[in-house]
Structure 1
Amino acid sequence: MSTDFQTARVALGARLRELRTEARLNGKELAARLGWQPSKISRIENGKQTPSLDDLEAWVAAVQRPDAIAELRGRLNGLESQYRSWRRQLSGGHRARQEIGATELSRTRQVRGLETDCIPGLFQTPDYARHMFLRLSDFRQSPVDTDEAARSRIKQQSALYEPGRKFRFLIWEGALHVRFCPDDVLAAQLDRLAGIIGLDTVDLGIIPLSAPLRLTPAHGFWIYDERLVIVETINAELWLDDTHNIALYQRAWDWLAGSSVHGSQAQQLIARTARSLSRS
Structure 2
Amino acid sequence: MSPQVHQAKQAFGARLREIRKDANLSGRALAAATGLHVSKISRIEHANQSPSEDDIRRWCRACRVEDQALELIATLRGIEGMWLEWKRQLRGGLKRMQETFDRHHQRANVVRSYESIVVPGILQTAGYCEAVLRIAADFYGTDGDISAAVEARMNRQRFLYQSERRFLFVVEAWALRTIFGGVDVMLGQLDRLLAVATLPRVSLGVIPPGTVRRMWPGEGFFLFDDDLAVIETTSAEIKVTQPQEIRLFAEAFRRLQDEAVHGPEARALITETMRDLTEARHAWPTMMGDADGHG
Structure 1 length normalisation: TM-score? 0.70
The within-5 A match list for 1:85-100 is 85-100=85-100
Where 2:176 maps in the other structure, the secondary structure is helix
Moved over 2 A (4+): none
The answer to whether 1:130 aligns with 2:130 is: yes
Match for residue 223 of structure 1? 223
The equivalent of 2:143 in structure 1 is 143
Question: What is the aligned partner in structure 2 of residue 116 from structure 1?
Answer: 116
C-alpha distance in structure 2 between counterparts of 1:264 and 1:99, whole Å:
34
Q: How many residues align?
A: 201
Q: 1:143-162, aligned counterparts within 5 Å?
A: 143-162=143-162
| Matched residue SS, 2:204 | strand
Distance 2:163 2:211 in 1: 33
Per-residue deviation at 1:81? 3.6
Map 1:51-90; keep pairs closer than 5 Å.
Answer: 81-90=81-90
Aligned mates of 1:252, 1:110 — CA distance in 2? 16
CA separation in 2, counterparts of 1:139 and 1:187?
25
- 1:163 CA drift (Å): 3.1
Q: Summarize deviations over 1:206-250 as a string: whole Å, max 9, x none.
A: 011111211111110000001000000000010000111100100
Distance 2:91 2:178 in 1: 27
SS across alignment from 2:144: coil
Q: In the alignment, what sits opposite 1:32?
A: none
Taking the aligned partners of 2:224 and 2:163, their CA distance within structure 1 comes to: 17
| Structure 1: runs of 5+ lacking an equivalent | 1-79
Letter of the aligned partner of 1:141 in structure 2?
Answer: G
Shift of 1:181: 1.1
Query: How far apart in 2 are the matches of 1:217 and 1:194?
Result: 23
1:36-77 per-position Cα deviation (integer Å, ceiling 9, x unaligned): xxxxxxxxxxxxxxxxxxxxxxxxxxxxxxxxxxxxxxxxxx
Secondary structure of the structure 1 residue equivalent to 2:261 = coil
Equivalent residues of 1:92, 1:142 under 8 A apart: no
2:81 & 2:244 partners in 1: Cα distance? Answer: 19
CA contact (8 A) 1:163 1:201 kept: no
Deviation at 1:141, TM superposition (A): 1.5
The corresponding residue for 1:104 is: 104
- Per-residue deviation, 1:264: 0.5
Partner of 1:20: none
The CA distance in 2 between the partners of 1:201 and 1:97, in whole Å, is 26
CA contact (8 A) 1:122 1:154 kept: yes
Q: Measure, in 1, the Cα distance between the counterparts of 2:101 and 2:121.
A: 10
State the distance in 2 between where 1:219 and 1:142 align: 23
- Counterpart AA for 1:88: R
**Cα deviation 1:165-195 (Å, max 9, x = unaligned):** 1000100001001112111011000000011
Question: Hey, what's the Cα distance between the residues in 1 that align with 2:170 and 2:225?
Answer: 16
Matched with 2:163 is 163
Partner of 1:258, secondary structure, is helix
CA contact (8 A) 1:167 1:203 kept: yes
Alpha-carbon separation, structure 2, partners of 1:93 and 1:81: 20
Find out whether 1:196 has 2:196 as its counterpart: yes
Q: Distance in 2 between matches of 1:129 and 1:113?
A: 17
CA distance in 1, matches of 2:133, 2:152: 12
Mapped to 1, the partners of 2:220 and 2:116 lie a distance apart of 6
Alignment partners' CA distance in 1, 2:151 and 2:218: 29
Q: Quick check: 1:114–1:170 contact (8 Å CA) kept in 2?
A: yes
Sequence identity (%): 34
